[in-house]
Structure 1
Amino acid sequence: MARGFSYKKCKKNRAMALLCIIKAEKFLVMLLREKSQRSFQMNRQLGSSLAVVAGTVNVLGFLQFGYYCANMTGNASSLALKINALDVRSAFLCFALIASFVLGAIVCTVLVNMGRRKGWGAVYAFSLVLEAAILVTLGIKSAWFAQAGVPDGGATLVLSFVMGLQNATVTRISGSVVRTTHVTGMLTDLGIEISDWLESFYHHVDDEYLDVIKKRLWLHAQIVFCFIVGGILGAVGYMHCKKYILFIVAIILVALAAPGIIENARTSARKT
């Protein structure tokens, strides 16, 4: 009886380990392949995961500081309004938010280009790890500032930098098909695809092209939905576990990046 139980338990553990390996390989391939090499499923999985992160961070930034760290359209409009009102301080903050977002995109590109020169396969994993490290650091810093009763003014710029870093990462790896922080662009694509799909009921459309339309429609709809879900999670997390929410987001990012980091380490070890 004990042997049978032990055998079943061992078999179950092996199955769990195999499932973990398969999942890790999927995440690895998701970070290795770029642009035309990527499948619809890869873009959907990566885009959905990062859209949840982006939605969470964006809502946290608004609840904590009153600014949407990923909404550069809104920040650019606010900049124009503040300049018109001669509100120099607020105008500078809006400009700094935009500059931080752009800087995040620049850093992502620098990391990707550096990784390619070194021959690393999963060059985008480093951007996700950097994003996680920044969020952990910000979480510790914000907790300390809150305990000391000191306002943490620079955190909103850091969150904007993180959003620029993430958006550039997913935009480059997907060949501009996915943009997790740019919901306006996603909704525009969604509207175009809905129109093309509806037109297929009245006019003949090639089956292969119709399949592409349906996949892209589902992709962009799911990313927008995941961004909203992330926002809800951010609001709930802010109310109930404010001190830990950034750490939870960082863990998600590390889980996504871990297979790529391991692969890069193996590549470096083989070269030495």
Structure 2
Amino acid sequence: MLVHEGEERNAIIDRRLGCSLAAIAGAVNAAGFLAVGYYSANMTGNVSALANGLHEGRMATVLSCCGLVVAFVAGAVLSALLVNAGRRRRVPSIYARSILLEACLLGLLGAVDLLSPLQPRGPMLAYGLSFLMGLQNATVTRISGARVRTTHMTGMLTDVGLELADWLDAFFHPVGPDRRAGTRERLGLHAAIVVSFTLGGVGGAFLYGWWSGLLLVLLAGLLACLALPGALSRG
């Protein structure tokens, strides 16, 4: 899932990768909100909160939201730099290694959540989780050719609407079987990612309430299991 790119990828690979990482991102997003009161993957909401904070003169909110946005972008920048370096050196496992890096850092944040007092850990968790969501989203965007995004659902829901419209339109204005099949394939992919993110969020909310930082450690383990086969691959 984390080695093939371009023409080597297909809908099955994209669906497996998108659904698995979207479920983990949904759980991280929900856990982050319960931990610190901010969504680590929802930059649209954070930018809106920043604007409202400026209007109302709440500079603490403005600075917090700025930090979240900067952290998310920094994660995406790091992912792009790693992927670009890996491509230049012809390292096909670079995408898996990026996700493995995310797993290691997420495990570290989980340990911080478990072991640190409430006050010092808040900013570290908030900005750290946003950084990791930016890293994951950029990595998946690159390897899938922008067909898959896993950490926020605005783009995915837009794609669901577009593909659903094309699918319905085909009943009244017939198109070729290949085009119809492509529409169904993309609709299924994007809808599955949205459902996976939602289910991950529901599970993450419940499990974080019970286990707190241990959930982040377990999610890091799942990420590592997804990334290790590709990271160790020589093909």
Normalising to structure 1: TM-score of the pair?
Answer: 0.83
Aligned partner of 2:109 in structure 1 is: 138
In 1, Cα distance between equivalents of 2:4 and 2:228: 16
CA shift, 1:122, in A, is 1.5
Q: How many pairs are equivalent?
A: 234
Q: 1-side partners of 2:232 and 2:96: how far apart?
A: 10
Query: Which 4+ stretches in 1 moved above 3 angstroms?
Result: none
1:64 aligns with 2:30: no
**Aligned residue number for residue 47 of structure 2:** 76
- In 2, Cα distance between equivalents of 1:37 and 1:118: 19
1:96 corresponds in structure 2 to: 67
CA–CA distance in 1 between the matches of 2:142 and 2:110?
A: 28
Question: 1:82-121 to 2 correspondence within 5 Å?
Answer: 82-121=53-92
Q: Which has the higher relative contact order, 1 or 2, with Cα contacts under 8 A spaced 6 or more apart?
A: 2
- 1:253 and 2:215 matched: no
Shift of 1:243: 3.5
- Report if aligned partners of 2:107, 2:221 keep a CA contact under 8 Å in 1: no
Instruction: Structure 2: state its 5+ residue gaps.
Output: none
**Is the 8 Å Cα contact of residues 32 and 121 (structure 1) preserved in structure 2?**
yes
Distance 1:243 1:100, change over 3 A: closer
Cross-structure match for 1:14: none
Conserved 8 A contact 1:102-1:161: yes
What is the CA-CA distance between 1:119 and the residue it aligns to?
Answer: 2.4
What's the % identity of the aligned pairs? 46
Q: 2:99 aligns with which of 128, 143, 146?
A: 128
Q: Hey, what's the Cα distance between the residues in 2 that align with 1:261 and 1:33?
A: 12
Whether the 8 Å CA contact 1:35–1:172 is kept in 2: the answer is: no
SS at match of 2:80: helix
Conserved in 1, the CA contact under 8 Å of 2:26 and 2:204?
A: yes
Provide the C-alpha distance between the structure 2 equivalents of 1:174 and 1:34, rounded to a whole number of angstroms.
6
Larger C-alpha radius of gyration, 1 or 2? Answer: 1
The one-character-per-residue Cα deviations of 1:88-143 (angstroms, maximum 9, x if unpaired) are 12101101100000000000011112222332111101111111111111111111
- Deviating more after overlay: 115-124 vs 245-254: 115-124
TM-score under structure 2 normalisation?
0.96
What is the RMSD computed on CA atoms of the aligned residues? Answer: 1.3
Q: Summarize the alignment of residues 156-235 of structure 1 with structure 2, pairs less than 5 Å apart.
A: 156-235=126-205
What is the rounded CA distance, in whole Å, between the counterparts of 1:116 and 1:177 in structure 2? 19
What amino acid is the match of 2:113? S
Alpha-carbon offset, residue 248 of structure 1: 1.1
1:33 paired residue number = 4
Preserved CA contact (<8 Å) 2:114 2:214 = no
